[in-house]
Amino acid sequence: MGFVVDKVSEDSFYENLLLGVPKVLERCPCVSNATLARYPGVRQAELRAWEHNNGVILPEDLRAFYSSTNGFLYTYDFSYDYQGGEGRPRTGKIAINPVNELVRVYGYETKGAAQIEGCSLTLSRESKVFELVAVDGDARVVLVYPTTYAQPSVWLYHGAMSFAYLAEDFTTYFRMCIAHLGVPCWEYAFSNDGLPEWSREIFTLMAPGVLLEDRNLVEAHRYDVDHVNVIDHNIFSVAHPNPERVANVRPADRPKDKGKNASKRAATARTKK
């Protein structure tokens, strides 16, 4: 997924970025008031100033994103009472903070050395965490630099200093937002807390197949290289008859060669003469 606008209209840029999500939501009677905010891109000088002030380098995909649009905000209302009653709607959103709100987050526990093991994260004093977007009052999606010069990854920071792994890079996270249709609190599906029940109900009505799939809908499958493209050498073996079976065949069971026997009889007859 590219983020840089290159000789395409603004409308086409946002359509490509949303990958058809508005059309999907239009078919749901519970969805209303869909709104897309449009922002101009950020100049390179501003991005370099942000990097200088925060002491880290933005990953290339996020830099390209901010060069095209300073943040992102697509929202819609979801309500069970779509007939116009007074039901309290839930707000779905696909959002990324503008660069001036990509602020550093504190309050997490630190240890001697930063380390990532699978989906477990340990941070040090050298680590830096920045907020990409708030999920609710208790959680936010963050960009985590384990060390100043490391490539950042995307995590859900929630509860009592708890991190849950979301994606290895910004582009993957944005695709996950699209795949989950911006359903409120979808990120909790990747935490130990799990989805709130009301969020699960929204998925059931809007996209019933999503929760039946692997929770990370866009994460590339990781294969064990020791079990991929391994050739079974037996497929090249020539099929030979079983030698034991051949040895056990009785003479009467062997096929007779009539031509060979006839030649032997003719030679015997000439000898007798």
Per the DSSP assignment, residues forming a β-bridge with 94 are 74
| Cβ atoms 218, 177 nearer than 8 A | no
- The residue with greater pLDDT, 178 or 4, is 178
Q: How confident is the model at residue 8 (pLDDT cuts 50, 70, 90)?
A: low
Residue 95 has pLDDT above 90, yes or no: yes
Is the pTM higher than 0.85?
no
Residues above pLDDT 90, as percent of the chain: 51
Tokens standing for residue 99: 């660069």
| Cβ atoms 52, 45 nearer than 8 A | no
Q: What is the mean pLDDT of residues 37-54?
A: 96
- Rounded Cα distance between 78 and 191, Å, is 23
Per the DSSP assignment, residues forming a β-bridge with 158 are 139, 162
Q: DSSP 3-state assignment of 2?
A: coil
Q: How confident is the model at residue 186 (pLDDT cuts 50, 70, 90)?
A: very high
Residue 16 has pLDDT above 70, yes or no: yes
- Rounded Cα distance between 86 and 152, Å, is 43
| Cβ atoms 76, 30 nearer than 8 A | no
Give tens-digit pLDDT for 30-43: 999 999 999 999 99
Residue 209 has pLDDT above 90, yes or no: no
- Rounded Cα distance between 217 and 215, Å, is 6
Q: Which residue has the tokens 């692997």?
A: 214
Q: What is the mean pLDDT of residues 202-230?
A: 56
Q: How confident is the model at residue 82 (pLDDT cuts 50, 70, 90)?
A: low
Domain boundaries, the chain: 10-226, 227-272
Q: DSSP 3-state assignment of 48?
A: helix
Residue 164 has pLDDT above 90, yes or no: yes
According to CATH, the superfamily of the domain at 10-226 is SMI1/KNR4-like (3.40.1580.10)
CA 237 to centroid of chain Cα atoms: 41
Nearest alpha carbon to residue 1 among 64, 71, 43, 59: 64
Tokens standing for residue 228: 């991929």
